[in-house]
Structure 1
């Protein structure tokens, strides 16, 4: 068996250097839909002797650019000293055709969380991007933070960055429940907020004008000026008495009721028309009632009853008597 330069035997580890070539060179385009590589048969012999656990995972290292990624293996049919890789993986590691890459077996923890970031917003325009992503990731063995994986759909390629992975920067996604989160696409731009037009200082905006209209005084009852029957000016109410005045106006007073009763009587109406002007003297309703009874019944003495002058009935809610 012939061994190539760079082939190493390290206890229970596999480590080998190969020259990398893209899958298109060997008519294997199906490699582009996943993260698996094709290695030579000698690698399988060495891995079998080391009793490497399945699934077999490997660490890829570009010593020139110090870029690291991880992958799985699909077949062991490549020519000795060569490794066939997906082209998008070579782009991640900044590898050209025929460059040297070091391959080492690795053990990765099962992933529990992965955060992805599409390069363009058109990936989100797919009718069901989640289903397309799940179908694509079935061909992947592991994910490494900092890599950009390729998702092919409807004759178009979409690139997605691995922004974050838990519980480690590189995780296995084989037979595990992994939570997937999306970051805004790289070309995403937040919609600009509409700017308010600049209004000159002398002109108020429409909203301010509406506020001014709303601030105009509304109708308030019982705010008019009152007039007296004797021609004198109305008395100015004391501050704070407006509410009491409004309540007094709403309920009729007892004196107004008595004035209305006296006005309704025919005798009061006839006497008021014949009343002459004179001096006003305030009296009680009881005295006026007694005087009315005295007019109907004559006195028992020898002196003839005095003829009483007709009483004046005012309309201000109180009774008045006129005396000379």
Structure 2
């Protein structure tokens, strides 16, 4: 279906061109000048759109031809031998000098024309535009808050677009240059009294954002990672808090360290090795090893070596408790499947 529509549009455009070739038309050469040769008011009107000033003799020729509204013209640079430079425009006034036309400076630059050079002017009929793709020159165009409103305001002074042209859009005291990248249904379209879809290509100076480099690749981050690895994590130290009595009385001796508690526990189980570490061994008088007593009478109760020996003999005389047998897997007999 798309190929059929393209073919139908091409046939329709070709028939229109053949019809225009058969009709009498305006096809003359004029010397072109920019808006700098006009007064300020005329120059301002000329630079804000794509229209030109033509001589009164051109109007008399156009009136004798079949009427076409709006009046559109094809501009061709006859001196461009290497490439065909063609653009299109409308007419603003018929007040120029004979054999002379005035056109916007940006359109002269697009056609590679100098002041006073010849340009070929021919009246044409263009199809109404359906689609146009624009490409701004700079990223400043992206700073416009409402591009649609901007285009609706600035394009009122334009009559047509030509693929490959560079137009100037003055807006809010600034000038934005935009390339006409693509137009449909033809290479030249009319934008008067038509609904035209507009698309934008990335600006010329736009660069894709670079992929972020890995954070560890930078030397500063590497040094920070090495320093972090060298820092030792704090180890867990048990029994570092302050000791408190269960009866609420103040402590009379220095807090017992973890090593002394372990030694006391080993002595209570009957180990023969005495503990030489702990703050209790550094007192003014060496205390005899005995039981740890907790309670309100702990301060008044002391044990003698004899009592300690008696209690130790009692503990040895006690029968040892037999532990329940633990579960041991795979302890049974082995059988063969063969019988």
TM-score of the superposed pair, with normalisation by structure 2: 0.57
Matched, 1:174 2:192: yes
> Number of residues paired by the alignment?
207
* C-alpha RMSD of matched pairs (Å): 2.7
Distance 1:72 1:136 in 2: 15
Matched, 1:129 2:147: yes
Distance 1:101 1:52 in 2: 24
Does the 8 Å CA contact 2:32/2:115 hold for their aligned counterparts?
yes
Distance 2:181 2:46 in 1: 23
The aligned residue for residue 39 of structure 1 is 54
Deviation at 1:129, TM superposition (A): 2.3
Q: How does 1:1-324 map to 2 (within 5 A)?
A: 11-27=23-39, 28-29=42-43, 30-65=45-80, 66-196=84-214, 197-198=216-217, 232=325, 234-236=327-329
TM-score of the superposed pair, with normalisation by structure 1: 0.59
Does the 8 Å CA contact 2:87/2:111 hold for their aligned counterparts?
yes
Give the SS at the match of 2:140: helix
**Higher Cα Rg, which structure:** 1
Does the 8 Å CA contact 2:58/2:94 hold for their aligned counterparts?
yes
Distance 1:69 1:53 in 2: 19
Higher strand share: 1
Distance 1:232 1:173 in 2: 100
Distance 2:130 2:330 in 1: 82
Distance 2:62 2:172 in 1: 38
Distance 2:58 2:99 in 1: 10
Deviation at 1:231, TM superposition (A): 5.7
Distance 2:170 2:189 in 1: 22
CA displacement 1:218-254 (0-9 Å, x = unmatched): xxxxxxxxxxx6665531279xxxxxxxxxxxxxxxx
Deviation at 1:130, TM superposition (A): 1.9
Give the SS at the match of 1:64: coil
Give the SS at the match of 1:160: strand
Distance 2:163 2:329 in 1: 87
Give the SS at the match of 1:130: helix
Quickly say closer, same or farther: Cα 1:167–1:10, change in 2 above 3 A.
closer
Distance 1:116 1:32 in 2: 19
Quickly say closer, same or farther: Cα 1:88–1:236, change in 2 above 3 A.
same
Deviation at 1:11, TM superposition (A): 5.0
Give the SS at the match of 1:13: coil
